[in-house]
Amino acid sequence: MSEPWKPTAQAEAERWAQLKSDIIEAAPSLGIDSIGFASADPFTTLKNRLIEHRAKGYESGFEEPDLDKRVQPALLFDRPQSIIAIAVAYPSKLIDPPKSEPGAYRGILSRSAWGQDYHQALRERLARLEAFIQERVPEARMESMVDTGALSDRAVAERAGIGWSAKNCSIISPKLGSWMYLGEMITNLPFEPDTPVEEGCGDCNRCIDACPTGALVGPGQLNAQRCISFLTQTKGTLSEEFMTKIGNRLYGCDTCQIVCPPNRGKNWTQHPELQPDPETVKPLLIPLLSLSNKEFKARFGSNASSWRGKKPIQRNVIIGLGNFKDATAIPHLHTVMREDPRYELRYTAAWALSKIGGEASMDVLNDVIQRESHIEVLEAIQRARVKLGADTEPLFYREMDSPIGTLTLIRSMKGLCHIEFGTYADREEKIQQWTSRWYEHPELIPNSAALDDIVGQLKEYFGGQRTTFDIPLDMQGTPFQRKVWQALTEIPYGETWSYKQVAEQIGQPKAVRAVGGANNKNPVSIIVPCHRVIGASGAMVGYGGGLDKKQILLALEQRQD
């Protein structure tokens, strides 16, 4: 009985060569503008670059954390034989773009977010390609990736001959420029690899020179932590440097591609679903501040800018209004600062008001500094006030009821600095004297919200639910006094020390009288428990708030001990 017929090696090679040719010919009908074939060997040299990139802190944090998976296709796919890279070109020009004008300023989305979300666009094309191959090779195995896959899209595209890896970290196709989306498909089919394209940047450094934040730290080296494309997608607050340089960008940045000579004159319009709606990609800024989640999804949900939600975009809207110095935005920024629950937006609005300037901006800042609770926002408000001419240091105060009477609490930007026994009205003169001694140009501002956490912890203490405090303090006193006050915080709840014990604790056993004086000057009673210090004989001795209050506090702690 004869052996089953097996195709020769030459016949097999011809089969895969023909299929590769068929795929290339079919690519345009599948919506693919450029296609290339690469080996599935490990990307050995890439790993060293990735290790160095991570060591320098240049990663964005959106990458696959496992470096081996980023460079070894075999960790993602069983016995890979090849990788197919695809590119889909997108437009670079707006037809009749709406104008940005005073009182009607506009933001801009990067070109990568102008049309249908490229993740969806590429997945659809890769699915068509998979179906095309499966029809011809039923036993084929394939796994497609778009952007969020472990492999580096650019490394695959470079190896597959789509284009060269440029100094701006884009892949530049000789035909398409860099206005293209990239995707890849790992297969178990032994396609012959294509030849990589030779590097074409030469001596040109326009992208590096034009980068607004200096994120391009060298040819092909990007510090993502400084890249505007990354920064516009973050959800936190941004530094003044970055907010200024973001300009009116709402999502992404195209600067390094706009200045790139190979992109000159290239604008791709062959894919209707990737064409932009001018009003979506260059929208009026102010109306975006009041978008609901539903409205945001309806307007931006179909493009790539929506993946992080509306907060980053609305923060960037505020940045844009500040950079435009749009005075018509002041009432809207006032609403943000009074009503928006997201501290990042309130923080950014304070900066924007400082950029816009004028009396109206200062009025808003003076209003919201009396209401704000978040310390970072309060700091931003104060920086803005200083920029607009304020020369005072804000100290926030509020009153609270307690078992030892009304307390007036005062905090600086750094923390709780003073507790006064009595109402603010009754003790105002003494409070003014104390603050004027320790602060330059103090401004006492009523703000209950800024002291909510402190009041909450004190209520827990008086209610017997708290034995220690977790409150930032801004202790104002001499070095010796601060040393004594630090020692007081080490007296356990429910216990008492003598002045001599405190003196010994600070390493100055003969300074008993001085310790007593420092104890009496403690500006934050209760929190720093000077009430736990008694005479050597065990007698109740001096307490700034009165011995009756000291007895109540010690009795409270004894009951809970």
pLDDT digits (tens, 9 = 90+) for 196-223: 999 899 999 999 999 999 999 999 999 9
Task: Calculate mean pLDDT across residues 10-23.
Answer: 93
Q: Summarize pLDDT for 463-499 with one digit per residue, the tens.
A: 999 999 999 999 999 999 999 999 999 999 999 999 9
pLDDT of residue 386: 97
- Whether the predicted model's global pTM rises above the 0.85 cut: yes
Q: Please say if 530 is a catalytic residue.
A: yes
Look at residue 413 and tell me whether its pLDDT is greater than 60.
Answer: yes
Terminal-to-terminal C-alpha distance of the chain: 96
Assess whether pLDDT exceeds 70 at residue 254.
yes
Q: Is 180 exposed, middle or buried (0-12, 13-18, 19+ CB in 10 A)?
A: buried
- Contact criterion met (CB below 8 Å) for 351 and 380: yes
What is the percent of the chain with per-residue pLDDT over 90, rounded to a whole number? Answer: 89
Residue 462 pLDDT = 95
Residue with the two structure tokens 């007895």: 551
Q: What are the residue boundaries of the structural domains of the chain, listed by start?
A: 10-222, 325-390, 396-560
Which CATH class for the 396-560 domain? mainly alpha
Give pLDDT tens digits for 344-375. 999 999 999 999 999 999 999 999 999 999 99
Residues with Cβ < 8 Å from 451, sequence gap 6 or more? 396, 397, 398, 409, 411, 416
CA distances from 193 to 17, 22, 141, 306 (A): 10, 15, 18, 36
pLDDT value for 5 = 57
Catalytic residue among 169, 207, 417, 530: 530
Output phi, psi for 141, to 5 deg.
Answer: -115, 140
The candidate with the shortest Cα–Cα distance to 318, out of 396, 242, 250, 388, is 250
> 285 Cβ partners below 8 Å, 6+ apart?
105, 106, 107, 248, 317, 320, 321, 324, 326, 329
pLDDT above 60 for 505: yes
Task: At 30, give phi and psi (nearest 5°).
Answer: -90, 0
